[in-house]
Amino acid sequence: MKIAVVGTGYVGLVSGACFAEWGHIVVCVDKDPPKIAGLRQGRMPIYEPHLDEMVERNCASGRLDFTCNLAKALKEAAIVFIAVNVPPHGDRGEPDLSCLYRTASDLAPLIADNTVVVVRSTAPVGTGDMVQKIIAATRKPCTFSVASNPEFLCEGVAVKNALTPDRVVVGVDDERAYKRLLELYADPMDLQDIPVVVTARRTAELIKYAANAFLATKITFINELADLCERLGSDVEELALGMGLDKRIGTTFLTAGPGFGGSCFPGDTLALLRTAQDHGVPLRVIEETVAANDARKRRMALRVVEALGGNIDGLTIAILGLTCKPDTDDMREAPSIPLIEALQRFGGHIRAYDPMGVENAAKILDDVVFCDDPYDCARNADAAVVVTEWAIIRDLDLVQIKANMRQPILVDLRNAFRRDAAVQLGFRISTIGNSASTKGDVRSMARQRNRSLGTAKIIPIAMREKDNGIII
């Protein structure tokens, strides 16, 4: 099948490469000539593990190509995916649909009869209706279809998500779109026993927002329980494991931290709220989730200030990890941003390290010394703050980190390191969701017991024991 994908960001590029991997002929189109030139030479505009390999493989096979010529991309395409960026507009969080609607207008006179136009971008309920009206202003409604096919890609594992998703959701309002999208997805999904959920178009649009809002709420829930654990002398990681093993709850997204960020959760929760408000429906749980997450990200700076005795004026703070999550270079809504900005307002001097995010972080943050090495980042620092749990950060040699620091203060906002092991090395450590009263010996016995029960494979990554004895 010939497929065109408009947009070469996270969604468009990963989706297009995946369709080519399944054997389809795919042309990805973008208005950015340098980006397209780079892609044709094998240079990825984003960092995503294994994406470069999949793109290179399918370009070499002739199944995948890139162009700035929209007419060329759409020629003989049976399905056209719109995967352009839909950023939040202003402070209220409404999605800016101008690029998406402009794309629909541009492709309207170029698509062939019987083409199925699929909105792949995350967009509010009713977007498909508007796309259909825009295209119908140029073509007769009976000669094309508009469908919704929301993506559920997680940065850092997007290639895996695309090839082996939990489910595929397609929203269709006519038989042409129904048959065409089942033709695309049925075989690769059937082979892996992955469900393809077919809904009305508006329902599919809502599913994406509802799923992300639920996961955001789950993260906020465990973050608030982490605060309670600190007051009660409990341990949030053990709490999360005990809760998560209930199949009705599940262990994923129960890792406490500094608050959620990224391109999806913050924007999608706000967009869902705006949609509900426009239709007079209160979503109190989501409202509180958004407010609690914003407040949590701001409070993280106070944890650092408290760890340093209440005054950081003139002190140097090493930030370990900048991106919104590991294995991506995405800085959108990253918790590191409000943290660093607040610490600077309190008078702190910031040194920062991230294995992939420095280039994007430098476009956002001012007066930060960016380092190429985590040990150099910690040099002469009065405190080290773990913000993003990259593997290279979890595996740091704390002995060397301490030797480089002016004061041995560690603020671990991701629980990447064992509190008792860090204390034995001479650190004063502040963690999320447990207190100094938590007994190391008891936790050690608990870990052994969990392994004997065969649950180690589902324990959150920050809780897994490493050979060096420093990281659980």
For the stretch 239-291, pLDDT in tens is 999 999 999 999 999 999 999 998 789 889 999 999 999 999 999 999 999 99
Which one is catalytic: 28, 229, 264, 371? Answer: 264
Phi, psi of 258 (to 5 degrees): -85, 5
| Cα–Cα nearest to 388, from 324, 303, 308 | 324
pLDDT exceeds cutoff 60 at 439:
no
Q: Is 18 a catalytic residue?
A: no
pLDDT value of position 62: 96
- Higher-confidence residue: 318 or 89? 318
User: Looking at the predicted structure, is the pLDDT value of residue 455 above 70?
Assistant: no
Express each pLDDT in 197-232 by its tens digit: 999 999 999 999 999 999 999 999 999 999 999 999
At 4 the pLDDT is 98
Of 89-93, 204-208, 312-316, 349-353, the one with minimum mean pLDDT is: 89-93
CA 212/CA 218 separation, integer angstroms? 10
User: Can you list the pairs that 131-137 forms with residues at least 24 positions away whose Cβ atoms lie under 8 Å?
Assistant: 131/82, 131/100, 131/101, 131/104, 134/101, 134/104, 134/105, 134/108, 135/104, 135/105, 135/107, 135/108, 135/111, 137/108
pLDDT over 70 for what percent of the chain?
91
DSSP 263: S
Question: Which region among 32-41, 87-96, 232-241, 376-385 has the lowest average model confidence (pLDDT)?
Answer: 87-96
Measured between its terminal Cα atoms, the distance across the chain in Å is 48
The half-sphere exposure of 81 on its side-chain side, counting CA atoms within 13 A, is: 32
Per-residue pLDDT reduced to its tens digit, 117-152: 999 999 999 999 999 999 999 988 789 999 999 999
| Among 36-50, 301-315, 375-389, 456-470, the least confident range | 456-470
Instruction: Say how far apart CA 82 and CA 389 lie, in whole Å.
Output: 33
Tell me the C-alpha to C-alpha distance, in Å, between residue 38 and each of 19, 58, 192, 436: 20, 15, 33, 51
CA distance 337 to 414: 16
| Cβ proximity of 403 and 375 under 8 Å | no
In the chain, what are the helix, strand and coil shares in percent, each to the nearest 5?
A: 45, 15, 40
Checking if the pLDDT of 464 tops 50, the result is no
User: What CA–CA distance (Å, rounded) separates 242 from 254?
Assistant: 11
pLDDT band at 25 (very low <50, low <70, confident <90, very high): very high
**Residue 110 pLDDT exceeds 60:** yes
List, by residue range, all CATH 3.40.50.720 domains of the chain. 2-199, 211-463
**pTM tops 0.85, yes or no:** yes
φ and ψ at residue 16, rounded to 5 degrees: -60, -45
Residue 93's pLDDT band (cuts 50, 70, 90):
low
Question: Which tokens go with 291?
Answer: 């407010």
Digit-coded pLDDT (tens) for 180-202: 999 999 889 888 999 999 999 99
Lowest mean pLDDT among 27-36, 125-134, 390-399, 428-437: 428-437
CATH of domain 211-463: 3.40.50.720
Pairwise CA distance, residues 49 & 31, whole Å: 25
Predicted confidence at residue 470, as pLDDT, reads: 32
Distance CA 225, CA 246 (A): 17
CATH architecture of 2-199: 3-Layer(aba) Sandwich (3.40)
Q: How high is the mean pLDDT of the chain? A: 90
Measured from the Cβ of residue 369, the count of other Cβ atoms closer than 10 Å reads 13
Question: Which pLDDT score is estimated for 89?
Answer: 75
Tokens of 405: 């620091």
Lowest-confidence pick of 20-24, 39-43, 144-148, 437-441: 437-441
